[in-house]
């Protein structure tokens, strides 16, 4: 493993009856945030469960902190902060009770930091979780995940369904966490605007495969949509096309190295594309 990477997946595959995760590979460098994106059913949750050793993969290697995630499961999980889209704390518990039993779970639990997060996020100590709003539940889960000296946060849709103010608070916490250049965040989200604000890298899954895994800035700079007539499409090398849509009046094709493509096919237009439109474009491949 590259010592500059906090997480590495190489050729990870997992087959189910109706879905296959196929040869998934990507690397998360230290000191950075990676957005894991894709439509529902693309393989994001299966990828996260594989990293957390919650399911047995069929093939491939996963290293977290340079350690094999199956051979060093407990050691790795001591250093992970994990948040799913629903809180995992029992609904009758209060934050002050959570603080007490988390001390027994994690050797590195930092009570002062946890209570500081609760105060900063305006989470009451003496209120049962069942009476919390969804936003408060997520802020509590994130505060707990960040209060035991975690080096890597793994977050599955933590901002889904939250209002913009709460989402902004949570994104600020992530940016604060990543100030330590030895830490990292893997963030699965459908809210692409959030990722565009904070992510350094984007890994895009579609139908169980990695379509791309690159820095966000490179994606925004290098990719574009080539447009022309159907006759024009016959002149375009297939190797230049990542995904294509045909319609009555011509075609649109997702391409990389937009400047080179623009020069290669004069007379055709190459428009810029953002991450959300790229997701939609690839998800609709084959539709007319």
Output the DSSP codes for 21-70.
Answer: EEEEEEEEETTEEEEEE-STTSSHHHHHHHHTTSS--SEEEEEETTEETT
- Joined together, the tokens standing for residue 205 give 């899954």
Q: Is the pLDDT of residue 16 over 80?
A: yes
Count how many domains the chain has: 2
Q: Is the pLDDT of residue 154 over 80?
A: yes
| Strand extents, DSSP E, 135-258 | 152-156, 184-188, 201-206, 209-215, 224-228, 243-247, 250-255
Residue range 198-228, pLDDT digits in tens: 999 999 999 999 989 999 999 999 999 999 9
Q: Is the pLDDT of residue 134 over 50?
A: yes
Please indicate, yes or no, whether residues 124 and 172 belong to a single structural domain of this protein. Answer: yes
Could you tell me if residue 261 is inside a domain?
yes
Please tell me the predicted confidence (pLDDT) of residue 157.
Answer: 86
Please tell me the predicted confidence (pLDDT) of residue 287.
Answer: 45
Please tell me the predicted confidence (pLDDT) of residue 284.
Answer: 74
Q: Are 25 and 62 in contact (CB under 8 A)?
A: no
- Per-residue pLDDT band for 288 (boundaries 50, 70, 90) equals very low
Percent of the chain at pLDDT > 90 equals 72
Average model confidence (pLDDT) for the chain? Answer: 91
Please indicate, yes or no, whether residues 197 and 254 belong to a single structural domain of this protein. Answer: no
Give how far the C-alpha of residue 115 lies from the chain's centroid of Cα atoms, to the nearest Å: 27
Residue 133: phi and psi, rounded to 5, are -75, 165
Please indicate, yes or no, whether residues 207 and 229 belong to a single structural domain of this protein. Answer: no
Distance in angstroms (rounded) separating the CA atoms of residues 146 and 234: 53
- Joined together, the tokens standing for residue 64 give 């977290």
Please indicate, yes or no, whether residues 72 and 204 belong to a single structural domain of this protein. Answer: yes
- Cα dihedral 66, 82, 38, 240, rounded to 10, equals -20
CATH of the domain at 15: 3.40.50.300
Angle (CA) 161 165 169, round 5°: 100
Please tell me the predicted confidence (pLDDT) of residue 178.
Answer: 94
3-class DSSP assignment, residue 76: helix
If one counts every other C-beta atom within 10 angstroms of the C-beta of residue 231, the result is: 9
Please indicate, yes or no, whether residues 193 and 230 belong to a single structural domain of this protein. Answer: no
Could you tell me if residue 42 is inside a domain?
yes
Residue range 75-124, pLDDT digits in tens: 999 999 999 877 788 899 999 999 998 988 888 999 999 999 999 889 99
Residue range 18-56, pLDDT digits in tens: 999 999 999 999 999 999 998 888 899 999 999 999 999
Could you tell me if residue 281 is inside a domain?
no
Could you tell me if residue 105 is inside a domain?
yes
Q: Is the pLDDT of residue 283 over 60?
A: yes
Could you tell me if residue 277 is inside a domain?
no
Please indicate, yes or no, whether residues 154 and 251 belong to a single structural domain of this protein. Answer: no
Please indicate, yes or no, whether residues 157 and 182 belong to a single structural domain of this protein. Answer: yes
Could you tell me if residue 285 is inside a domain?
no
Could you tell me if residue 284 is inside a domain?
no
Please indicate, yes or no, whether residues 199 and 248 belong to a single structural domain of this protein. Answer: no
Q: Are 19 and 43 in contact (CB under 8 A)?
A: yes
Domain around 66: 5-211
Distance in angstroms (rounded) separating the CA atoms of residues 279 and 277: 5
| pTM score of the predicted model | 0.90
Q: Is the pLDDT of residue 2 over 80?
A: no
Look at residues 207, 170, 211, 215 and name the one whose alpha carbon lies nearest to residue 189. 170
Q: Are 245 and 252 in contact (CB under 8 A)?
A: yes
Cα separation values, 101 from 109, 110, 120, 123, 131, Å: 10, 12, 21, 18, 20
Q: Is the pLDDT of residue 162 over 60?
A: yes
Q: What is the C-alpha R_g of the chain?
A: 21
Please indicate, yes or no, whether residues 51 and 131 belong to a single structural domain of this protein. Answer: yes
Please indicate, yes or no, whether residues 195 and 249 belong to a single structural domain of this protein. Answer: no
Please indicate, yes or no, whether residues 166 and 259 belong to a single structural domain of this protein. Answer: no
Could you tell me if residue 205 is inside a domain?
yes
Distance in angstroms (rounded) separating the CA atoms of residues 10 and 32: 19
Q: Is the pLDDT of residue 286 over 70?
A: no
Q: Is the pLDDT of residue 131 over 80?
A: yes
Q: Are 170 and 159 in contact (CB under 8 A)?
A: yes
**Which residue, of 189, 211, 233, is where some domain finishes?**
211
Residue 245: phi and psi, rounded to 5, are -120, 130
Please indicate, yes or no, whether residues 237 and 266 belong to a single structural domain of this protein. Answer: yes
């Amino acid at each position: 493993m590259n010592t500059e990477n906090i997480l590495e997946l190489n050729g990870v595959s997992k087959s189910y009856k109706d879905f296959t995760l196929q040869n998934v590979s990507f690397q998360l460098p230290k000191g950075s945030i990676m957005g894991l994106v894709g439509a529902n059913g693309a393989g994001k949750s299966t990828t996260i469960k594989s990293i957390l050793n919650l399911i047995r993969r069929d093939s491939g290697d996963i290293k977290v902190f340079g350690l094999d995630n199956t051979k060093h499961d407990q050691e790795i999980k001591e250093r992970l902060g994990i948040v799913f889209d629903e809180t995992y704390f029992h609904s009758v518990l209060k934050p002050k009770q959570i603080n007490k039993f988390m001390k027994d779970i994690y050797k590195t639990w930092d009570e002062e930091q946890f209570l500081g997060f609760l105060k900063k996020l305006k989470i009451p100590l003496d209120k049962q979780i069942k009476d919390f709003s969804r936003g408060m539940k997520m802020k509590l889960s994130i505060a707990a995940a960040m209060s035991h000296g975690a080096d890597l946060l793994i977050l599955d849709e933590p901002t889904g369904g939250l209002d913009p103010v709460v989402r902004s608070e949570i994104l600020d916490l992530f940016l604060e966490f990543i100030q330590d250049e030895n830490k990292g965040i893997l963030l699965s989200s459908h809210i692409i605007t959030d990722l565009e604000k904070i992510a350094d890298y984007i890994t895009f899954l579609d139908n169980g495969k990695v379509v791309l895994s690159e820095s966000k800035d490179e994606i925004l700079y290098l990719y574009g949509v080539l447009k022309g007539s159907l006759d024009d499409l016959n002149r375009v090398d297939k190797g230049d096309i990542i995904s294509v849509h045909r319609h009555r009046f011509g075609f649109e094709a997702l391409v990389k190295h937009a400047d080179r493509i623009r020069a290669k096919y004069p007379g055709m237009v190459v428009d810029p594309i953002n991450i959300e439109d790229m997701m939609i474009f690839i998800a609709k491949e084959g539709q007319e």
